A and B are shown apart, each in its own frame.
Chain A
Amino acid sequence: MNVNIACHGCDLLIDVSELADGSIADCPRCGGFLTRFRIDAYERVVASSIASVICLILANSFPFLSFAASGLESVMTLLSTPGSLWKHGMPVFAFLVAAFIIIIPAVVLFLLLAIAVPLAQRKSRWWLQPAAHLLFKMQGWAMVEVFMIGVIVSLVKIMAMATVIIGVSFWAYAAFSILFTFALANLDRYQCWNLIEELESE
């Protein structure tokens, strides 16, 4: 008998060695998600990561929002979000915002590509283990969708006071948040580590 996973929710031992392509294993006792097996999982990760990179570059190259109130207009870019916090004397917040919305997502994307490209080709690379370690530790700190919700919530308030023009960058960042989530969702922790181990032992 091949028992090879313990449910993270209730610690039940389960055999998930013979999953068909595209199928999901849930815990038979508590219903918690265990793993999902897909033959083309890493191709999916590579595809959505590359699309995310393009959207992130676009999001940083165009205006994010423009405000017009009583004849004055101000254009805001994505990078000016931490920039204006810095100017208003909040360097710690500026650093955190820059990290959560740009720096960490960019590093996570880089790591996703560094892992998924060799795994899609079923090739072993020396950086797979350290990169996977760093990726799974960092992914919780990328707060792309949290920022998106924050922007939408504050827009409600600002729209009452000024005319808001939504820029190209806003849509690019919105697309980025969806693609980024999709890329992360396609990388299954259990399958990814199993494959890394398998490739290293060959």
Chain B
Amino acid sequence: MSQVQTSALSHGLAACHMCCKLAPLDQHHCPRCGSVMHARKSDSLQRTLALLVTACVLYIPANVYPIMLTDQLGSTEPSTIMGGLAVSIADTLKARL
């Protein structure tokens, strides 16, 4: 495989996300499949950071509060993600013994 150590963008090219076709960037649509083409995502770091911070914040209530309420004969039992994991490990150990 011969290779050129340059990026597609430096040649004014971009790969289509739908069909992988390399096409000049000044055309806004892929010549093969007609999909919209763009070079880099705009504000990518800013978007990533914003979503990452939100995900970190939501991670806390997702693990602290119950994910499922089990209702059996009138008694309701809440369970968290980690609780479910603990139950399945305990059950496996019980079955082994």
Contacts and interface: CB of A to CB of B under 8 A. Distances in A.
Contacts of B68: 157
Contacts of B70: 157, 161
A8 B21 CA distance: 11
Interface residues of B, number: 30
B1 interface: yes
Given A1-B2, A15-B3, A8 B87 contact: no
B80 interface: no
Contacts of B8: 6, 11-13
Nearest to A4: B22
A25 interface: yes
A70 to B, nearest CB: 9
B36 interface: no
Interface in A161-179: 161
B41 to A, nearest CB: 12
Interface string A1-41: 10111101011111110100000010011000001000000
Contact of A133 (B11, B18, B21, B72): B18
Interface string B56-97: 000000000000101010000001000010011001000000
B20 interface: yes
8 contacts: A6-B13, A11-B7, A12-B6, A13-B7, A13-B22, A18-B1, A157-B84, A197-B21
Interface of B: 1-9, 11, 13-15, 17-22, 32-33, 35, 68, 70, 72, 79, 84, 87-88, 91
Given A5-B15, A6-B22, A13-B4, 12 more contacts: A1-B4, A10-B7, A11-B7, A13-B7, A15-B3, A18-B1, A25-B1, A153-B84, A156-B84, A156-B91, A189-B19, A193-B32
